[in-house]
Amino acid sequence: MKRAVMKWEIVGDVLIVVTTEGAVPDAIWNQFVRDIQTGPIRKFLGASTGATEVSSTQRKSTSEALSAKKIPTFVVTDDRLVRGVVTAAAWLGVDIKSFSWAELDKCVKQMTADPKQATLLSSTLIALKLACLAAAGEPRNSG
């Protein structure tokens, strides 16, 4: 099983995360959930460059953390499996919307009316994506 690379950063009150294809180890996922639970998070922007394999336990812990804080969630992906996870999270009560990578500008504009904040969110997401792809040894244009 391929191991995913997962990187995240808090920008203001937005937690931004990018994962590559593969499974995320529980230790990394648990730290990520703790950051959702304890950080000054009001919005969540997540993205994947492929099929991130999330266990039912990981999916549930994240959904519960986001729901408990009533955090609107925005997901950027071109992967159908990840979109299925988004649908499942919505069924669990998470306020969640998905966008393709081509719709990134639309996504961040829905997150904030401030053009400078939208640019910062988009550029941070792209930087995390590039860092994840480099760490995974994948081409920079992966999806």
pLDDT in tens, 112-129: 999 999 999 999 999 999
Residue 118 near residue 94 (C-beta atoms within 8 A): no
- 129-134: average pLDDT: 95
Is the confidence at residue 142, as pLDDT, over 70?
no
Is the confidence at residue 43, as pLDDT, over 60?
yes
DSSP state, 3?
B
- 20-42: average pLDDT: 95
CA atoms within 13 A on the CB side of 93: 11
The pTM of the full predicted model, rounded to 2 decimals, is 0.90
- 135-139: average pLDDT: 84
Angle, vertex CA 103, rays to CA 86 and CA 31, nearest 5: 45
The answer to whether the Cα torsion of 28, 38, 94, 135 is positive or negative is negative
